[in-house]
Amino acid sequence: MLRRSFLAIVFASPLSFAKTAQGVLLAQDYKPGIDISQYLISEKLDGVRALWDGKSLRFRSGQSISAPAWFTAKLPSTPLDGELWLARGKFDELSGIVRKLQPVDTEWQSVKYMVFELPAGDGTFAQRNEKLQALVKQTNWPQLQWVEQFKLSDDKTLQAKLKQITAQSGEGLMLHKADAPVTTGRSAVLLKLKPVSDAEGVVTAHIPGKGKYQGMLGALQIKTEDGHSVKIGTGFSDEQRKNPPPVGSTITYSYRDTTPSGKPRFAAFLRVRHAGT
């Protein structure tokens, strides 16, 4: 049975994207027409973003990650940016592992820290990438891995690579401007390319269901990163409709297109990225 608070539209103060994104580089969507040769390209991993400051591991939100002491003890003192990852198509399993307040050692033995940036480094991204690769090699620990970066010549080869990755259950590609300095916030120096676009929003309300969804969630009202209010009514399992993401949670949703004002069209729920408090 749906909890009482779900039987009416409930509003709460959403999490601040400015706080969430502070000190972190976030990607814009790729659009054809750019000079592909100016970017280093990598597979987009469907993992959990994790920031290492040399002493502690944190989520993108700033919340501490309860990783086992033996895991963090293996990491170098150099700050790192990357994703905790299991394998393609295993985001839900990974999220369940890394969000536990009491980590389970046997579960963490399968978790890899896939790193792609030196957030305190200098020089261009291409230069930092070489230093990062050398650091991972020097650390010599199988659970710390460098995310391979490669170059392509044009949009045709980029689309072919995307098709290859997604055919193998990969999520997409990331393009990082090779000459970019360390950058934070949502920036065009980092682009994401997926068959279907996605974005994040904060849950502001639960809209009760009707008909076969009576007593369950009908739709989520969310606030997008651009400030649009969007209703999402598809993409949920029955279990998720019975236990919806709490108000204040950050979710990932897919969409096909945007209106002239930038509001997403055909939005569908994908997953919870950060649980509300």
Secondary structure (DSSP) of 58-90: EETTSPBP---HHHHHTS-SS-EEEEEE-STT-
CA-CA distance, 114 to 90, in Å (whole number)? 15
Contact 190, 24 (CB under 8 A): no
Distance between CA atoms of 50 and 7, rounded to whole angstroms?
Answer: 36
SS3 106: helix
Q: What distance in Å separates the CA atoms of residue 165 and residue 218, rounded to the nearest whole number? A: 34
d(CA 115, CA 141): 13
Taking the CA atoms of 103, 108, 109 and 112 in sequence, report the sign of the dihedral they define: negative
User: Cα(208)–Cα(120) distance, rounded to whole angstroms?
Assistant: 46
Q: Which of 19, 44, 161, 263 is catalytic?
A: 44
Q: How far apart are CA 194 and CA 235, in angstroms?
A: 18
> What is the DSSP track for 185-223?
EEEEEEEEE-SSEEEEEEEEEEEEB-GGGBTSEEEEEEE
What are the structure tokens assigned to 217, written together? 């969630």
44 labelled catalytic: yes
Distance from chain centroid for Cα 149: 18
Residues in the chain: 277
Q: Which residues are catalytic?
A: 44
